[in-house]
A and B are shown apart, each in its own frame.
Chain A
Amino acid sequence: MIEWHDVGKRYGDAWVIRHIELRVEPGELLVLLGESGSGKTTLLKTVNRLSDADEGVVKVDGRDVRDSDPVELRRGIGYVVQGVGLLPHVTIGDNVATVPRLLGWPRDQIRARVDELLELVALSPREHRDRYPDELSGGQRQRVGFARALAARPRVLLLDEPLGAVDPITRAALQRELARIHHELHLTSVLVTHDLVEALVLADRIAVMLRGKLCQLATPRELLTSPADDYVARLVAMAREQGERLLGGTPA
């Protein structure tokens, strides 16, 4: 569904990512895992052309993204950013309706779609439709962010650290919601995170990135059992150690 062939991107002389070969299968939820500066967000943005690759080819549904008008392309791809980025001056309903409005859908169809989406993300349309973002909790805002990204029925969903700014309990709940929505709508999703646990919980496959390179592409189980290199091994070991310390600390 999404393919990167030998993709590279540089700022000035420095390559942020280089020689990336990766495929996301239809219906898959792929996690790009890495620390900040690893190039994971840049890689994500080459899909909706917020960042154009300097080398190689990026394809969505078999088509080179550079053959598409960036505006048209983006309207067909769901996009969720860290910090949500809801428009503070319009209501929740209007926020969710952003892309359908840009696409010129009829009004009653938009209204029906907004209510449908709010229900999908477990917000009551009647209660939340006409409120403003600053009246909602962080978790509720993030749900609105998901609903907005899904408004025009995209088949591909890109998520850039969507849960970075919410508390752990809300995050866990939203992770479950996200997984449910992904499967229910048969989406193909790419999620960027630096949180190994989140990656393990959500991913069908995890692509680990370090300094612009792809270190390992594996299922969560494979990643835990056979890390491909030192970096991945340390990453896994650290998570395991934290878990054991936590368990060891509990009175028996």
Chain B
Amino acid sequence: MSELLRGVPPLLASHLVLVLASLAIAIAIALPLAIVVAGRPRAAFATIAVASVIQTIPGLALLAVVVPVLAAIGWLRPFGFAPALIALTLYAMLPILRNTITGLRGVDAAAIEAASGMGMTSRQLLARVELPLAAPVIAAGVRTAAVWTVGTATLATPVGASCLGNYIFAGLQTRNFAMLGVGIAFAAALALVLDGLLALVEHALAGRRKGRVAVPLACFAALAIAVIGVAPRLVEPSRAVAASSSPARGAVAQLERVHIGGKTFTEQYVLVELMRQRLEAAGVSVDVVPSLGSTVIFDALVNGDLDAYVDYTGTLWTNAMKRPSDAPRWRVLAELDGWLAREHDVRALPPLGFENTYVLAMRRDTAERLGVHTLADLARHPEVSIGGDYEFFGRAEWTALRGSYGLSFARRATFDPALLYDALVRGEVDVISAFSSDGRIAAFDLVVLADPRGALPPYDALVLLGARAAGDARVSCALGMRVPIEAMRRANALVDREHDTPAAAATWLAAQLGPPPACGGVTP
């Protein structure tokens, strides 16, 4: 348990920094805006409408939208803190806007008339009458915004902002419910604490006694100061990247720290740990940015926010290079390296030696009984049934398979990925879609049908290095490795089936690969 909790303090702190910073900016924008529009019904309506529309965008989608927008504008790095901060600020604005406008409109008319009748200027009226009287309602809006922001900030993990979402994403993807619980519990506790503090402020303001506002505000100030004290340490890694990015091409320099990234599925969590272990053995310090979105991670490598991660040729071919999916493997491998180096100054290490692609799998006994070894054999058995995950029947792979082999099935059914293998094992379906490196293929002793016509695009796993990392010989040496598919499947199964941590699975996997080469680094 203590091992599990070790990562909490820095993530909790960066979560809090993210929340407080976006709240502060949201207040700084929404409060003046609300004051300006409060007296103008049409402008107020339009402002609230725009904020409400932003609010209806699901948090994950809003974060995903901010990244390419930032990249297009180009003056802020579209990775990590900046996109998360912007999305959360947008999110936090609605309740503050709405409550400020409502609060200002609800101020006792007699107080306003008396005050202007006594000769207050409109500015004095705002500062001494309207804002103080609307303050409790405004504070309630900030309180709502704070609780929303704490929750939504957990979604900032896939854009590279470290926060409590790191626990939640990793826990969900690797079926580690203790980890998931830790992430949820701390996020909920943080929301409750902030809500409680702001409730004190709100009630003190509603009681309209200057003295009582002081204590909770002081607590808040103390929290903010503590956070500001921690903040530089949190943003330091990304600063280092920012400061030393865009080095001279091909410069050979030893990196102080290497930032490695991973996507959001089991294999990636294991590979991140494997890379970390091998780099550290070569004397390289490592920072891990886990649970990144598929498009975010490539852009982060290109922009120098990351130094290394494992991607798959098919993904790069279709998503980054925008090529048609039916290209033969030799062509993909031949063109990918050159394209990456030419267009993005990214270096691809030789393939790791395993693929993670869509395949069709059967129970061994069924396959033997029907005499099916390849997809071509399967075409002779239109009586069998097939199960797929949510995506499979809508993907290009499915179309390519059917076209290429003329496959037809008696029945087809869609399952949740977690239940798909069980359905096959229990005999509810005869064939399922699977990922070639999934640990459950080995665990259930399934047969993967061969694809002699190459209908399925190749998804060879390979390590990509950013420009800086490519210049550090220790990195390319440490990450130059071959991972047999059986070993990868077994490591994935250790996490998925045996509930080992990705780090433990990586240690097991490293042992299978043999001792790492001496990469010339200082031994730690």
Task: Spell out A's residues near B (CB within 8 Å).
Answer: 48, 50, 70-76, 79-89, 98-99, 102, 132, 134, 145, 148-149, 158
Give the distance to chain A from B131, nearest Cβ to Cβ, in Å: 10
Give CA–CA (A50, B118) in the complex, Å: 10
> Once bound together, how far apart are the Cα atoms of A70 and B116, in whole Å?
10
Q: Are A81 and B119 in contact (CB under 8 A)?
A: no
Q: Is B121 an interface residue (CB 8 A)?
A: yes
Q: A85-B111, A132-B209 are contacts. A74–B116 as well, Cβ < 8 Å?
A: yes
User: When chains A and B are docked, how far (Å) is the Cα of A132 from the Cα of B108?
Assistant: 16
B112 interfacial by beta-carbon distance below 8 Å: yes
Instruction: Please give the residue numbers on chain B whose beta carbons come within 8 Å of chain A beta carbons, in ascending order.
Output: 108, 110-121, 124, 128-129, 132-133, 135, 208-210
Least Cβ distance of A116 to chain B in Å? Answer: 18
Query: Using Cβ atoms and an 8 Å threshold, which residues of chain B touch A83?
Result: 108, 110
Using known A-B contacts A71-B121, A102-B124, A132-B208, determine if residue A86 contacts B116 with beta carbons closer than 8 Å.
no
Min Cβ gap B262→A in Å is 53
Report A-chain residues with C-beta under 8 Å of the C-beta of B116. Answer: 50, 74
A226 to B118, CA, bound (A): 38
Note all chain B residues with C-beta closer than 8 A to A48: 117
- A79 in complex: contacting residue of B111, B118, B132, B210, CB < 8 Å: B118
Given A50-B116, A74-B118, A81-B117: A87 touches B110 (CB 8 Å cut-off): no
Say which residue of B110, B119, B210 sits within 8 Å of A99 (CB atoms): B119
A82 touches B110 (CB 8 A): yes
27 pairs, A vs B, C-beta closer than 8 Å: A50-B113, A50-B116, A70-B119, A71-B119, A71-B121, A72-B119, A74-B116, A74-B117, A75-B118, A76-B119, A79-B114, A79-B118, A80-B114, A82-B110, A83-B108, A85-B110, A85-B112, A87-B111, A87-B115, A87-B133, A88-B108, A98-B118, A99-B118, A102-B118, A102-B119, A102-B120, A158-B117
Complex A-B, nearest 4 residue pairs according to Cβ-Cβ distance, in ascending order? A85-B114, A74-B119, A75-B119, A85-B110
How many Å lie between the Cα of A76 and that of B113 in the bound state? Answer: 16
**Residues of the A chain whose Cβ atoms lie less than 8 Å from the Cβ of B121:** 71
Given A89-B132, A89-B208, A132-B208, A84 and B114 contact (CB-CB distance below 8 Å): yes
Chain B residues positioned under 8 Å from A88 (CB to CB): 108, 111, 133, 208
Provide the residues of chain B in CB contact with A74, threshold 8 Å.
Answer: 116-119
Q: Which residue of A has the minimal Cβ distance to B132?
A: A89
CB distance from B521 to the nearest CB of A (A): 65
Closest Cβ of chain B to A66, distance in Å, is 16
Q: Which residues from A are CB-within-8-Å of B210?
A: 89
Known: A88-B133, A89-B132. A148 touches B118 (CB 8 A): yes
Provide the bound-state CA to CA distance between A71 and B120, in Å: 6
CB distance from A103 to the nearest CB of B (A): 8
Most buried by B among A73, A80, A98: A98
Q: In whole angstroms, how far apart are the Cα atoms of A15 and B117 in the complex?
A: 23
Task: For the complex, give the distance between the alpha carbons of A48 and B113 in Å.
Answer: 12
Q: Point out the residues of chain A lying under 8 angstroms from B208, CB to CB.
A: 88-89, 132, 134
| Distance between B427 CB and nearest chain A CB, rounded to angstroms | 73
Report the nearest B residue to A133, measured CB to CB.
Answer: B208
Q: Are the C-beta atoms of B119 and A85 separated by less than 8 Å?
A: no
